[in-house]
Amino acid sequence: MKKLVAILSILQCTCYFVPVLLEKGTAGSKKQETGTIYTHHQKTVIVDADAGNYQRKIIAFVGGLDLCKGRYDTPQHPIFKTLQNVHKDDYHQPNYTGPTTGCPREPWHDLHSRIEGPAAYDVLTNFEERWLKASKPHGIKKLKTSYDDALLRIERMPEILGISDAPSVSGDDPNGWHVQIFRSIDSNSVKGFPKDPKEATMKNLVCGKNVLIDMSIHTAYVKAIRAAQHFIYIENQYFIGSSFNWSQHKDIGANNLIPMEIALKIAEKIRARERFAAYIVLPMWPEGNPTGAATQRILYWQNKTMQMMYETIYKALEEVGLEDAYSPQDYLNFYCLGNREAGNVGGTESPGTANTPQAFSRKNRRFMIYVHSKGMVVDDEYVILGSANINQRSLEGTRDTEIAMGAYQPHHTWARKQSRPYGQIFGYRMSLWAEHLGVVEDCFTQPESLECVRRVRSMGEFNWKQFAADEVTEMRGHLLKYPVEVDRKGKVKNLPGCPNFPDVGGNIIGSFVAIQENLTI
C-alpha cells in the first residue's frame, strides 16, 4: 500500500482508499461485517483517446483483470519456463504455506474488454458516481463551506467529446456492436441514485431498507440464460448459487438464480427433445491453501451447486424416458485448467521442504491455471464480461461492488442470419477453446451437438489423466475435466482413487467447516 501511495504521489494523482459502507441505522455487527469482509471489486480503466480533428474521445476497459502483480500471462500459461526471464520479477504463488523457491508460478487466465462509443461514457459515469461518494466530506470536514473533490469533469474540457457527440458505428455496419453496462452496487457506494421510489423503479433499482440497490448484473445473466436456445459457455472464478434448491443448507443465503436457471433451461430443452449444452470452466480450487477452512467450504458449496444442477437434469431425463439413452453430462459439464512441463527448468529447491506440496509440485512439474475470468457466451451471439463472480457476494448488490458489460452484434444473431452467427463473439469463443484445447475441430462450431459435448469431455478426461499421471509429459491442451465423478443419475462423487488435489492436497468436493458463511458464498 505504501508503494502505491508513493507512486501516485509522484504522478500527482488524488487517491481514495474506500471501505464498503452501510447507511446510518444499520446494526453495528452488520456494519462491521460489511466493512471487513466485502470489497470494491470493480475493475475499470477509463482514458481519453484521439478522435481526429484535434478532439478526444473516451475509451473504457472493463473485465476481470486486476492492476497488480502476477496477472501478466500468455495463452501458453507457463509454470516453470519463464521463471528466469518474463516472470522473474512477477512471480505470484499464494497457494503454498512456507518457502516457494523453485516452485511453479500460478498461471493466470482472465477475460477483459475494451469499450468505445456511448457505453464507455456509462463506465465513466460509474466512476464519477463512485468518486463523488468517496470524496464526500465526513466528520469535521462537513463544517467547511466548500471542498475540492478533485474530479475532472469532461464538460469542462472542450477538446473531449461528450456522449452526444461521441463517434459511434452506423447501424448498417456489419462490425457494429450494441453494448450495455451493468452493475452490482447500492446507494452506499455511489452518489446520484434517485431519491424518489418511482424514479428508482424506472431505473430498475431495488428498494431495500434505507438503501437503493442496482443488481443488474444478476438480471442480465438470468435474462441471457432464459433467452438461450443452443448453448451456454461460462468461465468464472466461483460458481455457487441457488441454495434454495440444494439437498442441504437450503437457508444458507446463496440465493442467486444463475445455477438454477441453467439447470431449468437444460430441463426445458430435454422435455422439448431439443439439444442444449452448458460448458462451465472454473479454477481447480479457489486461490489459497487448498486444505484451508475457507477454501474447503467454498468447494463444499460449489459441490452442492453442481449436485443440484445434475439432479435437476436427471429428473428431466427420467420424466421423458431418456435416462438410459443420455446422461446428465451429455448436457452439462464442468472443467478446470492446468499445465504440466517436462524438463528441469525451474529454480533450486528451498531447504526444509521435502514431502511438502512445494516438493511434490517441483517433482511432478504441474500446477493449476487459475481461472479468474467472469464471463459468459450465449449461442455465439451474446457476451457478458465483467468483474462479477457467480456467487452471492458479487450478485446481491449490497456486498462486493461490481461492473460488467453485455454486448452483441446486430448483424450476427440467429434472428438476423436465420442460421448460426459467425461474428466476433463466435471468433472470441473459438479462440478461447483453441487456447484451452490446443486444437480446433469442426465440431467446435456446434457446441450444443452431442458430438461436440462428448468430444470436449473426452479431451478433458484425457488431459486430466495426463495432468494426474506419475509420468511427467508436456501437455498440448490445458482444459481438464473437473476431477469429480458424475454417475448417470447425476450423483457427484470423488473420482475413484483421487479424493484430493494432486501434490497440494485438499478434498476436491470440499468439506463442511464451521466458519462465517458470508465469507464463502
Interatomic CA distance for residues 364 and 343, integer angstroms:
10
Beta pairing, strands 231-236 & 277-281 = parallel
| Sign of CA pseudo-dihedral 286, 292, 298, 300 | positive
Cα separation, 207 vs 195, in Å, equals 10
Q: Which residues does the annotation mark as catalytic?
A: 41, 43, 48, 372, 374, 379
Pairing of strands 178-186, 211-215: antiparallel
Distance CA 72, CA 362 (A): 22
Which pairing describes strands 370-371 and 108-109: parallel, antiparallel, or unpaired? parallel
The answer to whether 195 touches 46, Cβ cutoff 8 Å, is no
- What separation in angstroms does the CA of 122 have from each of 45, 146, 215, 464? 12, 28, 16, 42
Cβ neighbours of residue 174 closer than 8 Å, sequence gap 6 or more:
409, 411, 412
- Residue 287, class by beta-carbon neighbours within 10 Å (0-12 exposed, 13-18 middle, 19+ buried)? middle
- List, in sequence order, every beta strand (DSSP E) within 64-163: 108-109, 112-116
Answer for the pair 480, 463: CB distance below 8 angstroms, yes or no.
Answer: yes
- Geometric angle at alpha carbon 256, from 253 and 259, rounded to 5°: 115
The C-alpha cell at 222 is 438470468
Phi/psi at 466 (5° precision): -65, -40
Strands (E) located in 216-341: 231-236, 277-281, 332-340
- Closest by CA to 217, choosing from 402, 445, 15, is 402
Report the distance separating Cα 81 and Cα 489, nearest Å.
Answer: 43
3-state per-residue secondary structure call for 145-185: CCCCCCCCCHHHCCCECCCCCCCCCCCCCCCCCEEEEEEEE
Instruction: Label residue 479 exposed, middle or buried (CB < 10 Å: 0-12, 13-18, 19+).
Output: buried
Q: Angle of helix 258-271 relative to helix 293-319, nearest 10 degrees? A: 20
Q: Give the CB-side neighbour count of residue 258, counting CA atoms within 13 A.
A: 29
Place of cell 431449468: 264
Sort 310 into a burial class: Cβ within 10 Å, 0-12 / 13-18 / 19+.
buried
